[in-house]
Each structure stands twice: as structure tokens, then as C-alpha cells.
Amino acid sequence: MAHQNSNEPLADITQLGQANGAGDKRALYLKLFSGEMFKGFQNNAIARDLIMKRTLKNGKSLQFIYTGRTTAEYHVPGQSILGNSDGAPPIAEKTITVDDLLISSAFVYELDETLAHYELRGEISKKIGYALAEKYDRLIFRAITRGARAASPITKSGFVEPGGTQIRVGTNDQASDAYVAASLINAFYDAAAALDEKGVSSDGRVGVLNPRQYYELIQAVGSNGLVNRDVQGTALQSGNGIIEIAGIKIYKSMNIPFMSKYGTKYGTASATNPGVISPGNVGSFVEAGVEKADNAEDGINNEYGLATEFANSCGLIFQKEAAGCVEAIGPSVQVTSGDVSVIYQGDVILGRLAMGADYLNPACAVELVAGAAAGSSGNAAF
């Protein structure tokens, strides 16, 4: 019986990463990673499905058309009908440009993968997805906030279309009103009424609060009538006890502009600080300030507002037509392989996204403010 020389490679050794035992030895691993990255993005991005999203091909920007209202008038016998005498409806446009390519990447050293006692690529892929989702939501929520302070793009003489809305939470000059459950509930009902009065569809209305605001509402469900008593038990304890207020479905997010920060702000109570005590060891990313904008931040081609402009912002209520997002490249992943992997003995894992966002119909956007009256310093129109 012939024996194979121990120095010779085994021709039929099984490569678990190969597809059907042929080709790239890591082909199956890369496909697994791609799925992990996208799952990480989808699990953390809530704004993507709450607004108008369009895919951009063969261009740098996308045009959205506004059509204003028209009127009804009585016909005069014998008079030709060539459209309303006032020239209605008026029409305007809004253009959203794609920002530069947004990326998140990591280098995975092959030896580290060998020594690690856990699946390294899957863990890194989720963190890349989280990073892209966080940026995605922050830009969209900033755009909606700007829309809540804007007038309608329809400016034809004699046709004043409704614009955005700001609603004050509470009546005090302290930002701590942002966490008063009764004041938040009143603000939601005021917002619903304002949207109705401006002719905004009730379909697709949502509210986004920070986690502490959301949990303040949950703690008060026994007395404020927000949730049917029959579903308080399990739903309440899981943190999902509040379904909606005034037909507005509620989400919680750490990515909304909140007192010039994102999601929370710690420190002494004031007109621009709700006075929440830090739980300690929160990490540098938790109290990150709103980024620069108006083309001051590299890669940004749309206006998203400056940190000082969100000094009293504490929540958003909007309908899906409030903002639009254009995607030239959806969330996707690229991984090096072949000769590059051999030279560096590892792979670069890259998540990428090319998008841009801006408000569309200001009438569909409501900003909640605390510590100052609507339209006052720090909340003035952009």
C-alpha cells in the first residue's frame, strides 16, 4: 500500500470556506459577513423607513416637486374654462444632494482571527453597521428639525402654504420640562391638532423621543390612559408599553438632537440642560455634540444645522413626507482578498453608504422644545 509523503500537501483536504470545494477559500465567510453588517445597520437605523427614501442613479442630486393647493370657483355662463383665474396650483421644487461617501472600516489580521476565541469578523461587521446607522439617523433627524422651523417652499403671492411647527413642552424656563410626562403628553396632542389643522395626513405619523423621555411616559401609564390596562404587564416591563399618543406611534432613539447633544445631556439644570445626573462611565460617544454642518464638515453637501441651533430641542413628531433621503449607494460591504490579503496577511473590511437628506414638507414636521418658548433664541428658524 502506497503512503503519501508527509511533506506533500493533501490534495483533497476540505476547505470549509470554499463554495462547492472550489475557488476562493474564503468566499463563504465573506458572504456571511455581508449579512451581519447589514443586520447591524437595519437593527439600529429607525429613520430610514419613516421618511421618503429614493434611490439615485446617474446623478448627484434628486428633485422633489411641491404642488400647492388650488381653489374652487363658480363658472360664468359663456366663459371659456382655461384653468383657475388665480393660476393655481402653485408649484415649487426641493433638491437633495448626495453627501460624500460615508465609510466605516477595520483591518482584520489573519493571526488575530486564528488566536481569537470568538468569531471576529461577525463582531466587527455589526459595529460597522452600527456606525453607519448612527450617522444615517442623526442626519435625517437634524433635517427634520430644520424643517419644523421652516416656511413652505411655496411662495406664490396669494398662496400661503403651511410651514413647520414648534411646540413647547411645559411652560417653565427650565429644560427639565422635557422629562415631565404630563407635559409631553399635552405636547403630543397639541402636535396632532396642529398637523390636522395644516392638512397633514394621519398616515405615517411618528414621534421620536430620547430613552429617558420614553421611560417617563411608561412609568405613568397607570394614570394617563396611554395604554390599555389589559396589556400593561409584559409590554410595560419590556419597555414597549407605550404604543401611540393621539395616533402618533412613538420610537426612542439616542440620535435625535437634544439640547445641542444627541439623545441625552448631563449636568446642572438650566434653560438648556434638563439636569440629569450622569450614571457614570458613559463613554465619550454618549454625550457627543451635534456635528458641524453647512458645508463646514468635510463630506457634507446639504445643510443639517449647527450645534447652537439645537439648544432647546427635545423631541420630534413628524409625518413621512417631512423629509426625504436619497441613496446613491445603499449600506453595503466590501472586503479585500487575493493578492492584497497575502501581502498584508489580513483583510480590510469596509462598510459604505452614500446618502443625503433634507426636509421636504415643513408642515409635516413638529419640533418639541423645552426651557424656552418656541422660536426664541436657540430655536429660531434656520
Structural domain that includes position 263: 27-66+90-369
Q: How far apart are CA 278 and CA 276, in angstroms?
A: 6
C-alpha cell at 174: 427650565
pLDDT for position 122: 80
Asked if residue 130 belongs to a domain, the reply is yes
Q: In what order do the strands lie in the sheet with 313-319?
A: 165-168, 365-369, 313-319, 205-209, 248-252, 244-245
The full DSSP string for 58-95 is SSSEEEEEEE------PPPTT----S-TT-PSPEEEEE
176 DSSP assignment: G
Task: Give the residue carrying C-alpha cell 410651514.
Answer: 163
Q: Is residue 17 part of a domain?
A: no
pLDDT of residue 235: 47
Q: What is the pLDDT of residue 8?
A: 60
Distance of CA 212 to the CA centre of its chain: 18
Task: Give the pLDDT score at 237.
Answer: 45
Q: Per residue of the chain (382 residues), give pLDDT as tens.
A: 555 555 565 556 666 667 777 777 666 665 555 666 667 777 778 898 899 988 888 888 888 887 777 778 888 898 888 777 777 787 888 889 999 999 999 888 888 777 666 677 788 888 888 999 999 999 999 999 999 999 988 887 878 889 999 999 999 899 999 999 999 999 999 999 999 999 999 999 999 999 999 988 887 766 665 654 444 445 444 445 467 889 999 999 999 999 999 999 999 999 999 999 999 998 877 777 776 544 456 788 899 988 889 999 999 999 999 999 999 998 888 888 888 788 888 888 899 999 999 999 999 999 999 999 888 655 665 4
Model-wide pTM > 0.85: no
Q: Is residue 374 part of a domain?
A: no
Asked whether residue 79 is assigned to any structural domain, the reply reads no
> Which triple of cell numbers denotes residue 269?
439644570
Look up residue 104 and give its DSSP letter. E
119 lies in a domain? yes
In 3D space, the residue among 139, 143, 147 whose CA is nearest the CA of residue 299 turns out to be 139
* Whether the Cβ atoms of residue 288 and residue 261 lie closer than 8 Å to each other: yes
Is 285 within a domain?
Answer: yes
Number of domains the chain contains:
1
Q: Smallest Cα–Cα separation from 36: which of 159, 116, 122?
A: 122
Which H or E run includes 32?
A: helix 27-42
- Note whether 258 and 267 are within 8 A (CB): no
272 lies in some domain: yes
pLDDT at 76: 86
Q: Are 206 and 317 in contact (CB under 8 A)?
A: yes
CATH code assigned at 171? 3.90.1690
Q: Is residue 57 part of a domain?
A: yes
